[in-house]
Amino acid sequence: MSSPASHLRPVPAAEPAARPAIRIRNLTKTFNDLVAVDNVSLDISQGEFFMIVGPSGCGKTTLLRILAGLEQATSGGIEIDVPAARDRPENSMVFQGESILPWMTVWQNAAYGLRMRNVPVKTIKEVVSHYLDRTGLARFAGYYPHQLSGGMRQRVAIARAFANDPQILLMDEPFSALDAQNKLLLQEELLRIWEEHKKTVVFITHSVDEAVLLGDRVMVMTAQPGRVKQFVPIGLARPRNFIELQGAPEYGDLVHRIWGDLRDEVQRAREIADGLGAPS
């Protein structure tokens, strides 16, 4: 291991800046009697790579869906304060699981958001070929999803979200269905693409490693109802070298710390599930 120190220089901007991109205040979401998200307040700053970890069923997906405008909050509010740009969408989501449209080719999928916004064909061509290039999919532009592997399909979903050029990128466990090697490759690719423009990212994961490798800050959520348990700033310099990082003591400390918080919640989530007689 050659000196990892240069990569691990602590960076100061882990705490929210003066003008957050996303300001969530006392957000609560209930489904009938079930409280999914309970009184969550947080700020996410411009260009921050924000990670949310929590046990299954802690409402993290619900939180993200509210941010995406796919669900309505029961109470509390969200303010999104992004630089004024009429021609850019506020957010784009990379969904958990298979979300690219099976009836469209890789190209058509990647171009979807742009097409829906009536972006000129010439721009679509440029942007889509750029991101297909960046995700290593250029050769597969004419393929249908069923002709691709799971990892490639997830890359299409990422290309689609980036090509849409949103102010905020929402990612819901985008790599959870992939095997370990593909996951690592895609995480690296994701960071590389992200470094180009440093969009604000809200990224849900159940993997503590992923949270530390990718994020600027990690929010740990409690088991049902989902509340904020802890914010952990990840003061690791970028660009990050995963292999060096994983051997570094700072990395181990962060994983250890987050896992310490998360462990109790996972345990509690399990007890809740057992108590309800539901399969976990």
Partner 1 sequence: MSVEQAQVAVAPRQSRILSLRGRDRILSIASPLGLLILWELAAQFGFIDTRFFPAPSAILTLLVKMLQSGELITHTYTSLRRLFWGTLIGGIPALVLGVVMGLNRPIRAIFDPLIAATYPIPKSSILPLALLIFGLGEPSKIFMVAIGVFFPVAINATTGVLEINKIYLDVGRNYKANRWNTFWTIALPGALPVIMTGFKLGIGIGLILIAVAEMIGAKSGLGYLIWSAWETFAVEQMYVGLFMIALIGFVLTLLLNELERFIIPWKVN
Could you say which residues in the range 137-166 bind partner 1, by CB under 8 A?
A: 144-146, 160, 164
Residue 252 main-chain phi, psi, to 5 deg: -60, -40
Shortest distance in whole angstroms from residue 68 CB to partner 1: 5
172 vs 216, beta carbon nearer partner 1: 172
Measured CA to CA, the distance from residue 35 to residue 205 in angstroms comes to 21
Shortest distance in whole angstroms from residue 78 CB to partner 1: 15
109 vs 187, beta carbon nearer partner 1: 109
Using an 8 Å Cβ cutoff, are 262 and 55 in contact? yes
Residue type, 180: A
Residue 113 main-chain phi, psi, to 5 deg: -60, -40
143 vs 231, beta carbon nearer partner 1: 143
Range in contact with partner 1 (rule: CB under 8 A) among 7-15, 36-44, 102-110, 148-156: 102-110
If you ran DSSP here, which 8-state letter would residue 175 be given? T
Shortest distance in whole angstroms from residue 80 CB to partner 1: 14
Shortest distance in whole angstroms from residue 213 CB to partner 1: 26
Measured CA to CA, the distance from residue 259 to residue 207 in angstroms comes to 9
**Total of chain residues touching partner 1, rule CB under 8 A:** 24
Among 45, 61, 62, 99, contact with partner 1 (rule: CB under 8 A): 99
Burial 127-147 (b: 16+ CB within 10 A, else e): bbbbbbebbebeebbeebbee
Site string for partner 1, 69-98 (x = CB under 8 A): xx------------------x-xxx-x-xx
Residue ranges of alpha helices (H) inside the chain are 60-67, 106-110, 112-116, 121-134, 150-163, 180-197, 208-214, 242-247, 249-276
Measured CA to CA, the distance from residue 233 to residue 210 in angstroms comes to 14
Shortest distance in whole angstroms from residue 238 CB to partner 1: 28
Shortest distance in whole angstroms from residue 160 CB to partner 1: 8
Residues 6+ apart with CB under 8 A from 37: 27, 28, 29, 59, 62, 63, 66, 73, 225, 226
Site string for partner 1, 24-43 (x = CB under 8 A): --------------------
136: left (phi over 0), alpha (psi -120 to 50) or beta: left
Range in contact with partner 1 (rule: CB under 8 A) among 76-84, 101-109, 189-197, 224-232: 101-109
Shortest distance in whole angstroms from residue 220 CB to partner 1: 26
Question: CA torsion sign, 122 to 123 to 126 to 131?
Answer: negative
Range in contact with partner 1 (rule: CB under 8 A) among 50-58, 108-116, 220-228, 244-252: 108-116
Range in contact with partner 1 (rule: CB under 8 A) among 63-71, 237-245, 260-268, 272-280: 63-71
Among 102, 247, 252, 260, contact with partner 1 (rule: CB under 8 A): 102
Interface residues with partner 1 (CB under 8 A)?
68-70, 89, 91-93, 95, 97-99, 101-104, 112-113, 116-117, 144-146, 160, 164
